[in-house]
Each structure stands twice: as C-alpha cells, then as structure tokens.
Amino acid sequence: MAYIATYEGKDYTIELKKLSEGIYEVTIKGEDMEKKLVLDVRRHGCCVYSVLCDAKSFEVDVDEREPHLYDVLVEGEHFEIKVMDEMKKKLEKLMGAEGLEEGEIKTSMPGKVTKVFVKEGDEVKKGDPVVVLEAMKMENEFKAPKDGVVKAVKVKEGDTVNAGAVLAVIE
C-alpha cells in the first residue's frame, strides 16, 4: 500500500510491504531522497510502538491530532506529519484542496451546484459543509478548510461550474 506523507512542506511517497507479522519493508521516496528500510514494529499500548531498524531500537509515540495529521514523538524528537493514502491525496487535489490554505474552496471538475449551506458573513468552523456539487453522478460536499468568516459565496444552487471554479472564500 502507498501513502503520501507531508513533512515540513515536502511530500514523500511511502510504500509498505508486509513481509511477516510485524515486519515491514518500507520504501520512502522524495525529491531529495530515496530509502528502503526493513522495520520490526511492535505495538505497546494505544499509540506507543517499539521499532527496530538497522539494529537500533526506537520508541515511537503516534497521536492523531485530527484526520490525517499526526504528532509523532521519536526518542524525544517531535514531528508533525500529514499522511494520506495515495487515492485520498489524489481526491484532495481533484476536489480543489490545493487552495485551501488561502481559504478558497474550488473544484477541478465541472458540475452542478445542488446545495449552498452558507452566505457571506456567516461564521464557519473547519469541516462545516459549505457547498454540494454534483459531478459525474456523484454528490461531492465541500467543507470549510478552516475556522473563519465566509468572505464570498461565488455560486448559487442550480449553477453549473467549470473545472477550477472558486465556490467560496473563507477568511
């Protein structure tokens, strides 16, 4: 199975291959590195793992702070890592998540707006529904990327939008 891990703004592809119970071959690829490791992983408690790699033992504490965002503590060193499987990452890009840091909610596929949940000036919390778009016979719900105030709603119910259309802006 392949995952995309984002650390300090860089994406890394991580491929896992289970060799036997608790033993994994891990390949990590990024623009500045490529490594293949064999890890012996044992779980101790809810989110603490003992990991043996290259004859060195590490205690790893993993805490999911929010969906796909993990706080990882390795031997006292803290890492904040976003991890998604490849399909979810591709879907995030397809759904226009690339502009979410700026508060823009946009789509990269054409479709018809079937529901608008907000209006300008509304306060929203991260994850609140904003717009539903029907595309390829599927309903896709676009959610607020952060807490804030709706600065603009660029669509109304019944509108047909093109790929790349900004649906709403949250500040």
pLDDT tens per residue, range 1-34: 788 898 888 889 999 999 999 999 999 999 888 9
Tell me the backbone φ, ψ of residue 101, rounded to 5 degrees.
-60, -35
* Per-residue pLDDT tens digits for 93-135: 555 444 444 678 888 678 899 999 999 999 999 888 999 888 7
Same domain, 9 and 80: yes
- Based on the fold, state whether residues 160 and 102 are members of the same structural domain: yes
Q: Which of 101, 122, 97, 119 is nearest to 109 (CA)?
A: 97
Residue 132 C-alpha from the chain's centroid: 19
What three-state secondary structure class fits 165? Answer: coil
Cβ atoms of 75 and 58 closer than 8 Å: yes
- For the chain, what is the mean pLDDT? 86
Residues 78 and 120 placed together within one structural domain of the fold: no
Distance, CA of 86 to CA of 66 (rounded, Å): 18
Q: By the 8 A CB rule, do 105 and 92 touch?
A: no
* pTM for this prediction: 0.53
Count of domains forming the chain: 2
Dihedral sign from CA coordinates of 15, 16, 19, 22: positive
pLDDT value of position 90: 62
Q: Are residues 6 and 82 in the same domain?
A: yes
In this predicted model, what pLDDT tens digit does every residue of 42-63 receive, in sequence order? 998 888 999 999 999 999 999 9
Give the range of the structural domain holding residue 124, as residue numbers without chain letter. 95-170
